[in-house]
């Protein structure tokens, strides 16, 4: 049914939006209904995305124009293999996080604000991945960025508000930079559609360069690119853990996704190779990797350490984009998957620990592995994957990335990846070691008698699924994310058609 197909993207974006309103009304009556609806919405969204699978794998590109805001400037949707992959990933993780939230958030205040926001950010995130032109992408990007502000400041502590303000200002800066880039693209190309048969900008010029830099700032801000990462380590830790998982696991990736679209659709690969502008991206990516990993070591707060680790990991993805060959791209897209799985596992596990013990600092976590073995086991799996130990998915993505770097003749990048993995080891392993073998100390010592249980099963199941995915997608030579990454990379290099 071709008809149904082309409406699906609209449905996927609109359904959560409508449900947001529904939830908003329902939550006045019943909390249970609210939670159920939130989970149901994310499940339905995930299934709807999944329904796109046959069409997309057959190489079909679904396009649908909703309406034109201005001449040549429409709200339109377009699903190709790359959109599909990321949408699938996001909706999947969103679903798990929604389930996780039910128990995590039950003790938090302001749930009536949290759930609608959770669902509408899902909608806008789907909108970003399924946008058919840069303008739609921009609209949903801004929507997501602004609304996730509410997630960031959910705790309403002074710390959170301060981090939120930083986040908000950076978002505005990023949004304006994107606006700048998009309008130059529109001026030069006459359109901002992603389904243009040829790249929108074909002539290098000052304006085109400005636009590139603007896109880099706009999307790089979101992706936590150096030097625009400053908001990230503040904003991610202060959010509630499920929200941190989404912020780090998914929302960072929208920036990378945007950059992919810009490089392959707005400029085109030949253009990029000819001008060599990606060198800028490569340089900042390298700095981002080293900086993120190195600073993470010095962090005492667990979630803050995870946030810095995200900065480092986003550096891999940006580096992958800058290399511009098939294997690097493949590694890069696969790393989007891997990092999403790993980082959400880590944040959700951290959340479970915080919920049960209230401990946020790493030095207090000694012996926690004996009290919450299951959670800590999942944490360990993800952390090992993060370091890049085979056979986890983190290893697979780094491996592919390195191969790509070798193909491109820059073994230097491989060295960077190695150093960074070493640093990752330096900051993840101590947590694990002290959790399982360390002595319990600190404030918790007096309350030795209080038995700390595992988190409720509604929280454990998502953690388990994610942790197992880390292992599974690394272990199996041919799995769905890997295939998708491969096809998407080929597709992008073909010029995106």
Partner 1 sequence: MNLSQHLPALIVVVPLFFAFVMPLLARWRKQWCVPVTLGAIIFSFVAAVKMAFQVMNTGPFSYYMGDWPPPWGIELGIDYLAAFAALTITGVGLLIIWYGSKDLLHELKAEVIGWYYTLYLLLIASMVGIVITNDIFNMFVFLEICAIAACGIISIKESRDCIEAAFKYLVLSVLGSGAFLLAVAMLYMVTGHLNFTFMAEALPEAMALYPNNLLVALALLIVGLGVKAALFPLHVWLPDAHSSAPSPSSAVLSALVIKVYAVAMIRLLYLVFPRELLGMAPVMEIILWMSSLAIIIGSMFAIVQDDIKKMLAYSSIAQIGYVFLGVGLMSESALVGGILHIFNHALMKSMLFLAAGAFIYGTGVRKLSELKGIGHTMPIPAIAFCIGAFSMVGIPITSGFISKWYLALGSLDVGRPFFMGVILISSLLNGFYYLPIVVNAFFGEPEKAVAKPKPLPKQMLVPLTILSFGVIFFGVFPSLILGIVYRAAQLLLGL
- DSSP H helical segments within 299-410, as ranges? 302-323, 326-357, 368-371, 373-387, 393-407
| Least spacing, CB of residue 122 vs partner 1, in Å | 18
DSSP 128: H
Nearer to partner 1, 190 or 411 (CB): 190
Q: 391 preceded by cis ω (within 30°)? A: yes
Question: Residue 157 CB, nearest distance to partner 1 (Å)?
Answer: 10
CB of residue 53 to partner 1, shortest distance in Å: 30
Question: Could you please report the per-residue DSSP string of 225-294?
Answer: -TTSGGGHHHHHHHS-HHHHHHIIIIIHHHHHHHHHHIIIIII-HHHHHHH-THHHHHHHHHHHHHHHHH
- Cβ of residue 350: shortest distance to partner 1, in angstroms? 24
Backbone angles phi, psi at 110, to 5 degrees: 65, 30
Which residue lies nearer to partner 1 by CB, 73 or 476?
73
**What is the nearest approach in angstroms of partner 1 to the Cβ of residue 94?**
23
List the structure tokens of 173: 């800066």
Between 103 and 155, CB nearer to partner 1: 155
Q: Can you say how many angstroms the Cα of residue 250 is from the centroid of all Cα atoms in its chain? A: 2
Give the nearest distance from C-beta 113 to partner 1 in angstroms. Answer: 9
The smaller minimum CB distance to partner 1, of residues 180 and 399, is found at 180
Strands (E), 16-72: 62-70
Nearest CB to partner 1, comparing residues 153 and 329:
153
| Binding site residues, partner 1, CB under 8 A | 67-70, 73, 135, 138-139, 142-143, 146, 153, 156, 161, 164-165, 168-169, 172-173, 175-176, 179-180, 183-184, 186-187, 207, 210
Rounded Cα distance between 193 and 180, Å, is 16
Could you give the 3-state DSSP secondary structure of residue 53?
Answer: helix
- Give helix 302-323 / helix 326-357 axis angle, nearest 10°: 170
Query: Least distance from C-beta 181 to partner 1, angstroms?
Result: 11
CB of 156 to partner 1, least distance (A): 6
* Residue 50 and residue 63 in contact, taking contact as beta carbons nearer than 8 Å: no
**Cβ of 395: how many Cβ atoms within 10 Å?**
18
Return the closest-CA partner of residue 21 out of 118, 140, 116: 116
Q: Long-range contacts for 137-142 (Cβ within 8 Å, ≥24 apart)? A: 137/194, 137/258, 137/261, 138/175, 138/178, 138/179, 138/182, 139/75, 140/13, 141/175, 141/178, 141/222, 141/254, 141/258, 142/171, 142/175
Three-state SS string across 138-169, please? HHHHHHHHHHHHHHHCCCCCHHHHHHHHHHHH
| For partner 1, the closer CB: 92 or 135 | 135
CA 480 vs. chain centroid, Å, equals: 18
Measured from the CB atom, the residue of 239 and 484 that comes closer to partner 1 is 239
For partner 1, the closer of residues 31 and 155 by Cβ is 155
Q: State in angstroms the smallest separation of the CB of 165 from partner 1.
A: 7
Q: Of 1 and 70, which has the nearer Cβ to partner 1?
A: 70
**Least Å distance between CB 237 and partner 1?**
18
Nearer residue to partner 1 within complex by CB, 135 or 347: 135
């Amino acid at each position: 049914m071709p008809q149904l197909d082309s409406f699906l993207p609209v449905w996927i974006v609109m359904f959560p939006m409508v449900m947001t309103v529904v939830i908003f009304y329902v939550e006045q009556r019943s909390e249970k209904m609210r939670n159920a609806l939130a989970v149901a919405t994310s499940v339905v969204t995930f299934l709807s995305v999944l329904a796109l699978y046959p069409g997309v794998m057959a190489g079909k590109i679904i396009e649908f124009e909703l309406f034109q805001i201005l001449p040549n400037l429409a709200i339109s949707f377009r699903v190709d293999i790359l959109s599909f992959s990321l949408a699938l990933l996001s909706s999947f993780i969103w679903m798990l996080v929604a389930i996780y939230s039910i128990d995590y958030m039950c003790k938090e205040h302001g749930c009536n604000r949290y759930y609608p926001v959770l669902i509408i950010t899902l909608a806008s995130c789907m909108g970003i991945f399924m946008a058919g032109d840069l303008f739609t992408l921009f609209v949903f990007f801004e929507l997501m960025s602004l609304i996730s502000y509410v997630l960031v400041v959910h705790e309403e502590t002074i710390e959170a508000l301060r981090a939120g303000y930083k986040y908000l200002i950076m978002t505005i800066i990023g949004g304006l930079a994107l606006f700048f880039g998009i309008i130059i693209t529109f001026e030069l190309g006459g359109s901002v559609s992603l389904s243009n048969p040829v790249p929108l900008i074909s002539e290098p010029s000052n304006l085109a360069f400005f636009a590139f830099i603007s896109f880099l700032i706009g999307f790089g801000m979101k992706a936590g690119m150096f030097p625009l990462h400053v908001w990230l380590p503040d904003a991610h830790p202060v959010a509630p853990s499920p929200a941190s998982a989404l912020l780090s696991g998914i929302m960072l990736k929208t920036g990378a996704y945007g950059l992919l679209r810009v490089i392959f659709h707005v400029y085109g690969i030949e253009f990029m190779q000819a001008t060599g502008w990606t060198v800028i991206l490569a340089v900042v990516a390298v700095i981002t990797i080293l900086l993120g990993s190195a600073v993470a070591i010095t962090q005492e707060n667990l979630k803050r350490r995870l946030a810095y680790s995200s900065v480092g990991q986003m550096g891999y993805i940006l580096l992958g984009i800058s290399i511009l060959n098939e294997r690097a791209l493949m590694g890069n897209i696969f790393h989007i998957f891997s990092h999403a799985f790993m980082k959400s596992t880590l944040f959700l596990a951290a959340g479970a620990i915080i919920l049960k013990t209230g401990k946020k600092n790493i030095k207090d976590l000694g012996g926690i592995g004996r009290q919450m073995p299951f959670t800590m086991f999942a944490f360990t799996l993800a952390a090992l994957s993060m370091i890049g130990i085979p056979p986890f998915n983190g290893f697979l993505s780094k491996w592919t990335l390195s191969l790509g770097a070798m193909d491109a003749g820059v073994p230097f990048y491989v060295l960077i990846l190695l150093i960074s993995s070493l640093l990752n080891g330096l900051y993840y392993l101590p947590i694990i070691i002290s959790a399982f073998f360390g002595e319990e100390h600190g404030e918790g010592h007096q309350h030795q008698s209080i038995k700390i249980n595992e988190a409720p099963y509604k929280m454990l199941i998502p953690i388990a699924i994610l942790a197992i995915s880390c292992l599974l997608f690394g272990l199996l030579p041919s799995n769905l994310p890997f295939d998708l990454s491969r096809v998407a990379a080929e597709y992008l290099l073909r010029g995106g058609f």
